[in-house]
Amino acid sequence: MTLKSASMTANPQTTQVEKDLLIRQIPSLQGKKILIVGDVGLDEYVMGEVRRISPEAPVPVLEVNGEDMRLGLAANVAQNVASLGGIPMLVSVVGDDTGANLLRELSLKNGVSWDFMIVDKSRPTTRKTRVMAKHHHLVRVDYELKKYLSEDSEAQLIAIIQKNVHLADCVIIEDYAKGVISRSVVEKISAICKKAQKKLMVDPHRDKSGSFYQGVDLIKPNYDEAVVLAGMDFDDLRDNPNKVIEVGRALQKVTGATEVVLTRGKDGMTIFSGDHVTEVPTYALKVFDVTGAGDTVIAALSLGLVSGLSLVQSCVLANYAAGVVVGKVGCVPCEVPELIDYIQSVN
């Protein structure tokens, strides 16, 4: 690819030659195994139309005309790995409840194995129910317990990772702050990956400090998350023309990660790899819903890296994949045929 590394490059567009390279590389994603550790959940949608206000209280009455269930949180990362041709190895904890049964059924339907799942009867399976009038969210109802794992569940989690890490091409920590990912878990996974010589990536949560993720090789926050994780202040950065570079460098320092992929919405990505900084543009043609786009990005990014693409090339591929899913509503995977069509269609 001809994208240049510099202190701050202009947003280059992908040439036809570079597009062809990415398209030729997509078959190499097939069969790559990505071990994903993190919180999982079930996304439920209740959809309909609002034509009146309730006589019982000043609230809209939704006339339901459809319901849907989708894989959420780290399970969405896993289904994106599967839809792009990879093999997800999803390690997480669920409850012994209806939510887990529904999540298992949906996972298997979407090519996500249940072989590495742990059942903890003391925890509910995370469920998020969104009530929607057409494309408008009326309310969201969450069923969850934000609490770190018990010693027994954590021991089971680490044992599964230890036993299976050699099968994986790389490892992703997907942290949604529901309790699966603690500092202890990060430390243990980092040690396992270093011993097995597997690249460790993390999709972080802004409620943690950057030092929480020490030991990872690559961290992928959005800009606001990066500011918080780096321990910086938004007001101090407001008039700083080099604020993105300053934030990325600070995050490299506090986490020890060699690579930072900082996603910036309509402004694309800023990639920090050692001393090099590269900008990659966004390729979104239309945006309906950004829910789950970050999951698609890290899935495509990881597959690109283990298939032989450079970090910048992998980020370009990930941005194309994100462009596909933001044009849809809810957590949906990016399929290979639509990714190829999308790469070809974007000027």
pLDDT digits (tens, 9 = 90+) for 67-76: 999 999 999 9
Instruction: Convert the pLDDT of each residue in 160-216 to its tens digit.
Output: 999 999 999 999 999 999 999 999 999 999 999 999 999 999 999 988 988 999 999
Has residue 258 got a pLDDT over 80?
yes
Under 8 Å between Cβ of 7 and 246:
no
Count of Cβ atoms closer than 10 Å to residue 104 Cβ: 16
In this predicted structure, what is the pLDDT of residue 238? Answer: 67
Structure tokens at 143: 């069923």
pLDDT value of position 96: 96
pLDDT band at 137 (very low <50, low <70, confident <90, very high): confident
Note the pTM of the prediction, 2 decimals. Answer: 0.90
- What single-letter amino acid sits at 19? K
Q: Please pick, among 39, 120, 169, 295, the residue that the annotation labels catalytic.
A: 295
For tokens 């997800």, what's the residue? 88
- pLDDT score for 5: 40
pLDDT over 60 (residue 267): yes
pLDDT at 325: 84
Residues 233-244 pLDDT 10s: 877 776 676 789
Task: List beta partners, residue 259.
Answer: 218, 273
Among residues of the chain, what percentage have pLDDT more than 90? 74
Domains and CATH numbers, the chain: 1-30+199-347 (3.40.1190.20)
Q: Summarize pLDDT for 280-328 with one digit per residue, the tens.
A: 887 765 655 566 688 999 999 999 999 999 999 999 999 999 888 877 6
Instruction: Give the pLDDT of residue 294.
Output: 86
Looking at residue 136, its pLDDT comes to: 86
Cα dihedral value 195, 200, 204, 207, nearest 10: 10
Q: What percent of the chain has pLDDT over 70?
A: 91
- Please confirm, yes or no, whether 207 is among the known catalytic residues: no
Residue 6 has what pLDDT? 40
Q: How confident is the model at residue 11 (pLDDT cuts 50, 70, 90)?
A: very low
Average pLDDT over residues 131-151: 92
SS3 for 105-170 is: HHHHHCCCCCCCEEECCCCCCEEEEEEEECCEEEEEEEECCCCCCCHHHHHHHHHHHHHHHHHCCE
Q: Determine which helix (DSSP H) or strand (DSSP E) holds 99, and give its type and residue range.
A: helix 98-109
pLDDT exceeds 50 at position 1 = no
Does pLDDT of 108 surpass 70? yes
Whether residue 59 has pLDDT greater than 90 = yes
Instruction: pLDDT band for 253, please (50, 70, 90 cuts).
Output: very high
* Helix (H) / strand (E) containing 76: helix 74-83
Q: Specify the DSSP class assigned to residue 86.
A: -
